[in-house]
Structure 1
Amino acid sequence: MLRRAVRALCLCTALGVYLAPESGAAPSIISESLPAPVVAKTITSFKAGSDQTRFGAFEFVGGLQLTSSEPLFGAWSSFRVRADGVHFVGVADTGHWLTGRLERDAEGRLSGLAEVRITPMRDARGEEPRVKGDIDAEGLALRRGQAIVSFERRHRVDIYPDPGFEHARPERSLDILIPKRELRSNGSLETVLVAPSESALKGAVLTIAEQSVDADGNLYAAILEGPLKGQFKVVRNDPFDVTDGAFLPNGDLLLLERRFSILGGVGMRIRRIAGKSLKPGALVDGPVLIEADMGFEIDNMEGIDVVAGPDGHAHVILVSDDNHSILQRNLMLEFRLIE
């Protein structure tokens, strides 16, 4: 118990420093893609000291604690698995792409990452920005031929070519439909995602703010394209902030949320939003499917994706952002959604 309390205090301290007003420090500048060999330590229990596997609507499949000798590895803000279920793309809030391949053991559980590379992101000039606030990548979505990234501080949603995003400037930016004066510098477009093409949203891009709220305390959000293009709102349940989202095959939306405080510690939860409720002018909310605190194997959970599991169920993979802090961990956790 004491060990968990100390870890919670350290993590909250590290998060508090990170989420303070931006200092404007420059990110590490690299000219080319770098290999990042990753060492994975298996996590077999989600709840510390327990063999419990069922948590709310989810069954814990397994997880990894990830470390690398490459200092730039980490700071994951969003993570997407490609259609092959093996290769992945991620973005770091330091302005870097992370790419690689998932490895699994004979039983199908995550066992490691391979072929991981880190590449600097390019801005509209085709250059690697020297100020973190210019390239603070927070959300990522993949669509045929496109890698779509949302940014904080300089609020925008940029579309990069895919393949080729690693060394390309964005092809264009989407109109975010939310007045920039309403967006907080360090709490704006945390989430960007692409709706299923078969849904009423017809494969449109959506974005959701982390902490930017209207006069009623609801989060700003918008459908940026398609027949239902327009702004909507998401109910914010204080003290939780939205950090990422992913669509289920049926069109429902899973929202990953995080909370932290010195007294309350760090927590995470996943909320399910009915796909049919996503439309201009709507205020959306939904049930909490899972919630965890520092008694569980969590950290600063920032990324979520939904993948097709070999068992026929939808699987959810979560990743954490270690903020390049020795007090935090890079985690990758996998759950099976039990309908």
Structure 2
Amino acid sequence: MLVAPATSAQDDGRADFASRFAWSIDDADFGGWSGLEIAPDGRRFFAVSDRGSFMSGTIRRDERNRIVAIDDVTLQPLPHSNGKPLPRYFTDSEGLAISHTGEVFVSFEAEHRVMRYPSVSLESATELPAHGSFERMKNNSSLEALAIDADGALYTMPERSGGANRPFPILRFKDGAWTRYHSLKREDDFLPVGADIGPDGRFYLLERTLVGIFGFAARVRSFEMTPQGLRNEMQLFRSPAGTHDNLEGLAVWRDDDGKIRLTMISDDNFRFFQKTEFVEYVIAE
């Protein structure tokens, strides 16, 4: 088992705030967005909610590449492996990863599992084999983050590690089976909620924490991926409590200017005092 060293994050990869856009549509299934993927052009997006909904849409941008509108939004339920609607306790979808061939993978944190769909049309579903640790994970705190690399290997990790001094395991699904790829030390109150592998091949991790009445704080760290595990941590940003809503989904992509962007979506928990928003940061050169 590999554990990331307890060293301070580097400062030379800091990300700058770029834009924020809050929106909603008149649909009872809109909300709770927890997993996010962005097309290479930074416009088409896909998201999953913690009530088993799959959303697609288009991001409209201005001349400065700021998000100014969301168009062409469609919602549809994620189907079960038997083709029927997901039953109770099976709908808590949290992580989303889409391969370069168009396969869709979704992780769930109530009934701990990862589902595969051949494409974004969700015409069928199969459940991947489980790792032995899945059954020991906590309800509502398990497979929150999901990412896929260029070779099609999946990476997931639970929201909670099972103890204040226990590391967060990172599991990899490759060649039909899960293995433990790495573990990250748990050093503070931030919990992992989203992950992606960027166009630079680095592993990006979105974490957040609730700071009492002040709201949510978030941060994104990135790591070099090696055969021995994660190395060379960089903290890209850390937002003060209340800066953003409950950011849970992360997509990492490169814009037309060659800059890497971190696009995030918030989970409003279907509460009237929270909001769905896209938040975007750009990694400074």
Distance 1:158 1:180 in 2: 14
**2:140 aligned with 1:194, yes or no?**
no
CA contact (8 A) 2:46 2:54 kept: yes
Within 5 Å, which residues of 2 pair with 1:150-189? 150-165=107-122, 168-170=123-125, 172-189=126-143
Larger strand percent: 2
2:135 alignment partner, SS class = helix
Give the number of the structure with larger relative contact order, counting CA–CA contacts within 8 Å between residues 6 or more apart: 2
**2:161 aligned with 1:212, yes or no?**
yes
In the alignment, residue 259 of structure 1 is paired with which amino acid? T
Distance 2:37 2:124 in 1: 20
Distance 1:186 1:70 in 2: 24
Distance 2:232 2:162 in 1: 15
Within 5 Å, which residues of 2 pair with 1:96-107? 96-107=53-64
Match of 1:33 in 2: none
The structure 2 residue matched to 1:248, chosen from 179, 185, 198, is 198
Match of 1:34 in 2: none
**2:261 aligned with 1:315, yes or no?**
yes
CA 1:261 to 1:242, structure 2 compared with 1: closer, same or farther past 3 Å?
same
**2:222 aligned with 1:272, yes or no?**
yes
Distance 1:169 1:136 in 2: 18
Distance 2:239 2:138 in 1: 27
1:107 alignment partner, SS class = coil
Shift of 1:238: 2.7
Shift of 1:227: 11
Aligned-CA RMSD value: 2.4
Distance 2:141 2:175 in 1: 26
Match of 1:290 in 2: 237
Unaligned runs of 5+ in 2: 1-11
Q: What do residues 229-280 of structure 1 show as CA deviations (whole Å, max 9, x unaligned)? A: 621322223311100011122221110001114266421111122212x64x
CA contact (8 A) 1:58 1:335 kept: yes
Match of 2:186 in 1: 236
Match of 2:174 in 1: 225
CA contact (8 A) 1:182 1:212 kept: no
Percent identity between the two aligned chains: 27
The TM-score, its normalising length taken from structure 1, stands at 0.74
Shift of 1:326: 0.7
The structure 2 residue matched to 1:117, chosen from 65, 68, 74, is 74
Shift of 1:331: 1.2
CA contact (8 A) 1:222 1:230 kept: yes
**2:91 aligned with 1:142, yes or no?**
no
CA contact (8 A) 2:196 2:203 kept: yes
CA contact (8 A) 1:101 1:113 kept: yes
Larger helix percent: 1
Q: What do residues 145-171 of structure 1 show as CA deviations (whole Å, max 9, x unaligned)? A: 310000111111110011421xx331x
Distance 2:61 2:191 in 1: 31
Match of 1:325 in 2: 271
The TM-score, its normalising length taken from structure 2, stands at 0.87
Within 5 Å, which residues of 2 pair with 1:7-22? none
CA contact (8 A) 1:235 1:285 kept: no
